[in-house]
Amino acid sequence: MNAPLEASQFRWPAILLAGEVDYNLYQRFRTQLVAAPREGLVVVELSTLGGDPEVARMMGEDIRFHSDTNPACRYVFLGKAAVYSAGATFMSFFARPNRYLTRGTRLMIHERKMDKHLHVVGPLTNCVASVKALLHELEHSIKIQNEGFEGLALGSTLSADDLKTRATENWYLEAQEAMDLGLIEGVI
């Protein structure tokens, strides 16, 4: 088990990210990840108002892969100011003892959102296929969303179902509350 970290250990993050979680941020993340130390503490600092949850999952999978394949490194998340939406998704890929927020940081956790129009036109069998395709997309998006809630809840006092319930209303919580609920290891 990793020991809790002190504020001084976050002085020089190896990976600094701010802005919308999108493919440009992912490219900056990958560039910094490649240049990060190969042993010891690797702090990943993030401030974001959200973005693409699939990009957040790609970044998270990179963290999971590097954590699994390089036990000489400890990858630690440091949320700063705002960690909304896709930022919380990214944070969920870090083991709970490796999640930290700065004082006053706000998390925002919500359900995935979709903005899609379904125009049903043509032969009826084609119409059914279009409706089923959208239904499958929704079902799998919900499954992926729930996997993220499970990862975020792991080791906390909340269940994934608790997170799902709170997420329906865009749940905002302050760093100390996140720590009190066991979603993060500490506040610096």
For 96-105, write each residue's pLDDT tens digit. Answer: 999 999 999 9
Q: Are strands 171-174 and 106-109 parallel, antiparallel or unpaired?
A: antiparallel
pLDDT score of 157: 96
On whether the CB atoms of residues 101 and 175 are closer than 8 A, the answer is: yes
Q: What are residue 171's phi and psi, to 5 degrees?
A: -80, 115
- pLDDT at residue 35, as a whole number: 97
Helix intervals (H) in the chain? 23-35, 53-69, 86-91, 124-153, 160-167, 175-180
Query: pLDDT band at 14, cuts 50/70/90?
Result: very high
Domains and CATH numbers, the chain: 7-187 (3.90.226.10)
* pLDDT the model gives residue 1: 63
Q: Is the pLDDT of residue 129 over 80?
A: yes
Question: Could you report the per-residue pLDDT of 36-94, keeping only the tens digit for each?
Answer: 999 999 999 999 999 999 999 999 999 999 999 999 999 999 999 999 999 999 999 99
What does the DSSP 8-state code read for residue 173? E
Instruction: Write the pLDDT tens digit of every residue in 132-157.
Output: 999 999 999 999 999 999 999 999 99
| Residue 180: φ, ψ to 5° | -60, -35
Nearest alpha-carbon partner for 42 in 8, 4, 2, 74: 74
Long-range contacts of 36-40 (CB under 8 A, 24+ apart): 36/73, 37/73, 38/70, 38/72, 38/73, 39/70, 39/72, 39/73, 40/72, 40/73, 40/74
User: pTM score, two decimals?
Assistant: 0.92
Q: How far apart are CA 45 and CA 96, in angstroms?
A: 15
CA dihedral angle for residue 57, residue 81, residue 167, residue 155, rounded to 10 degrees: 70
114 pLDDT tier (thresholds 50, 70, 90) = confident
